[in-house]
Structure formats: structure tokens, C-alpha cells
Amino acid sequence: MRLKIAALSGAFVLAGVLAGLLAAPVAFGQTPGLIIGAVYVGSVNDYGYNRSFHDALAQVARDLPGVKVIEAENVPESAAAESVLENMIQQGAKLVVPTSFGYADASRRVARRHRDVAFEFAGDGDPERNFGVFFGSTQRAMYAMGVAAGKMTKTNKLGFVLGVPIGYSLGNVNGFELGAKSVNPKAKTVAVVTGGWSDKAKEAAAANALLDQGCDVVSMHVDSPATIIQAVEARGGMSIGFQSIEARALAPKGWITGLGFNWAPFFTQIAKDVMAGKFSGQAIYRGLGDMVVIAPFGPSVPPDVQTAVKKAGDEVAGGFNPFTGPLNDNEGRPQLPPGGTVGLDQMGRMNWYVDGVIGTLR
């Protein structure tokens, strides 16, 4: 009997150790001069947000000698993230990149405990000594996407699937509608919220609901555009991608264009700063032309639309801010006075839909 208990407990301990070993974050790169730790809320194979970071960090590991990257995927946005971050620091990570908005509290707590480790948090908030914040400003770039949608739509109804209605997502759909309205005053955007960054079944149902409502161009702000683009393509609609320009492979007929992130130059600079001991936390938001790129156009996009989109993209890259007052929200309340603007660092606090977006937030 006691032998049985001993054997069983031994088996459990062994299983636990094996599980722990197998669960350790995946690493790649050469012998470490700098270890970068990256934490993802989803999988890096998502044709979307997480993949954009994975691709960029892999690029940094290739370009800079002595850089090694450790990654942890599918880490929930809760206090559990703290233990993952601590684990990475114990493995020697000197630059930690929490990539999802929901890791804010956990990463700030860990950063305060480890002032010798640099953090670059993908989101907003005040930077601290060793805690930088950054993001690619897609909201103004979405204006160019709206121009594409406004020109390509035949029903004047555009669809937009939102995951979580944080300020950045609302800014995206607002930028989209502003761009569409600028070339097609009758264009309206229907906004549907699924409630999560990556709820595939709801995304499929949301895309179908939008198409049922007569929207013929659909864009999105969710972690992976894959499900929505495939659902739209299956019903003959057109799509505008987001997060990763690789998503165009999913819609050979209906792809118009899309936005993607290019984090590699930014991370290369930050990695160099950390290795030289010169890192200091700042708020860095860059948009089109730097961290954000426009995807290649699909086969059905006529040349005049491509020109218009490129022109709008150049304007945005040159500093044009579509979020300039006077702007009313879709309930008629004025949100921006004449001349008022929403700056890149204030985007996280946006909480209204612009006039022309069909949807409610309360």
C-alpha cells in the first residue's frame, strides 16, 4: 500500500517536472548578449497582432549579434502574467516586451520590482524610469483604409468588427469612417463588438451579421483578422485587413488592402539602447511610414483607388491628423471643438463613435 502511494506520488512529481520543463518559454537566437522576453496573449501563428511582434523580434535577432529572444504565448491578461514575466527575468531577460494592453498592471508591478530590467509595453500610460510605452498609431492610418473602403463600396455600408472597445479600437473605427466619408459622404460604418480580442466563433457570426445587413466591405480590430476575412471571402464580400499584411493570402478575390505593423526598426533601436546601457522609458507612438505599413492592393482594386489611398497615406505620414474638430459623435454630441485635436498619446482614452458610425457603447 505504501509502495503504491510512493510510486504514485513519484509519478506525479515526475509529471509535474516534465510539464514545467515543457512549459518553459520557447527561445531562439545566438549566444546571448541581450535576452529579450516577449509575452503574447495569443499564438504567433495568427496572421495578426502576435505574429507582427514575433516577426519583428526574429528580425532583430537576425540583425543584431548576440540577441536571444524568449517568447511565451497564450498568456492570459491577468495576474498570472506576473509569474511569466518574473520567470523571464530569472532567465536573464534584460528587455521585456508585454505585447497586450491587458498586461499593464502586471508589468508595471514587475517593473517596479526590477529597476535593472527595461520594459517596453505596447499600450499607453505614463512611462517610468525603466518602463517605456509604445504603439503603432493605426488610427490615422485607418483614414487611408477608409478612403479605400469608401471608394470600393457599392452599398455605402461598411462593416467593422471590434474585439474590445478600448480607445485605440474606437479610434480605428472612427478613423476608418472619417476616411470613407471624405471620399463618399453617404458611407456609413456599422460597428459590432464581440467582447474579446480572439473569440473566433463570435467573429464568424459577427462577420455574417454584417454581411446580412448589406455591408460589402468589412474591416476589423481583433487579434487575428483570419476568421473574419475568411467568412467575408466565403460570401463574396471585400475585406480590409489589419495587424499583419500577410493576411491578404486569405482573401485572393476580396482583399482590398490593409494595415500591418512593422516593429523591427523600433525594437532594433531599443535593443541597441539597452545593450549600450542607455535605455530610458519614454512614450513612443509612430504611425504610417514607420511602425505602420499599408499592405499591397488586391487584384480587384482599380488604379485610381490605389492612387487615392496612397495619397491619403502620404498625407497621414506627413502629419495630417483626421481627428481634428469640429467633430460630433454619433449621438449628436460635439466631441471636438473647431481646431481641437486628439493626439497620439490621448488615443487610449477615446470613448465615442464619430458621426456616421452605427453602434453604441453604453
Partner 1 sequence: MTTPLVAGLLAGAILSGTSLLYATLGETLVERSGIVNLGLEGLLLIGASVGFALTAASGNPWLGVAGAAAAAASANLLFGWLVVTRKANQLATGLGLMFFGFGVSALIGSRYTGAVISGLPRWRPAWLGDVAWIKSTTLFNYDLLTWLAVPVACLAWWVLFETRWGLGLRAVGENPAAAFAAGRDPAALQYQVLPLGGALAGLAGAHLSLAVTLTWSEYMTGGRGFIAIALVIFSKWNPLWAIAGALLFGGAEALQLQLQARGTGISPFFLDMVPYLLTLLVLLAWGGSRRLAAPASLGRTFYGSS
Q: Which amino acid is at 201?
A: A
Which residue has 480572439 as its cell numbers? 198
CB of 22 to partner 1, least distance (A): 9
DSSP letter for each residue of 157-215: EEEEEESS--HHHHHHHHHHHHHHHHH-TT-EEEEEE-SSTT-HHHHHHHHHHHHHTT-
Q: Which residues bind partner 1 (CB under 8 A)?
A: 42-47, 51, 73-74, 159, 165, 190-195, 198-206, 208-210, 212-215, 224, 226-227, 230-231, 235, 249-250, 358-362
Give the residue with the Cβ less far from partner 1, 244 or 335: 244
Give whichever of 44 and 271 is closer to partner 1, judged by the CB atom: 44
In the complex, least distance from residue 285 CB atom to partner 1, rounded to whole angstroms: 27
CB of 41: closest distance to partner 1 in angstroms?
Answer: 10
- Torsion sign (Cα): 69, 74, 77, 79: negative
Cβ neighbors of 312 (< 8 A, separation 6 or more) are: 143, 144, 147, 179, 182
Please report how close the Cβ of residue 196 comes to partner 1 at its closest, in angstroms. 8
Q: How far is the CB of 190 from partner 1 (least distance, A)?
A: 6
Specify the residue, 210 or 288, whose C-beta has the smaller distance to partner 1.
210
The nearer residue to partner 1, 112 or 253, going by C-beta atoms, is 253
Select 172 or 198, whichever has its Cβ closest to partner 1. 198
What DSSP string describes 75-87?
A: --SSTHHHHHHHH
Q: What is the DSSP letter of 344?
A: G
* Smallest separation (angstroms) from partner 1 to the CB of 145: 20
d(CA 53, CA 267): 10
Separation between Cα atoms, residue 283 and residue 122, nearest integer Å: 10
Label each residue of 247-272 as H, E or C.
HHHHCCCCEEEEEEECCHHHHHHHHH
Q: How far is the CB of 238 from partner 1 (least distance, A)?
A: 15
Pick between residue 46 and residue 124 the one whose CB is nearest to partner 1.
46
In angstroms, give the least distance from the CB of 359 to partner 1: 7
Residues 6+ away with beta carbon under 8 Å from 271: 34, 36, 60, 64, 67, 95
**CA–CA separation, 207 and 226 (whole Å):** 11
Strands (E), the chain: 26-29, 34-39, 67-72, 95-98, 118-122, 131-136, 157-162, 188-193, 217-221, 238-241, 255-261, 283-286, 292-294, 327-328, 334-336, 357-358
Residue 24: CB minimum distance to partner 1, A: 14
Nearer to partner 1, 73 or 290 (CB): 73
CB-nearer residue toward partner 1: 99 or 130: 99
Cβ distance to partner 1 smaller for residue 220 or 231 = 231
- In the structure grid, which three cell numbers stand for residue 6, read together? 510512493
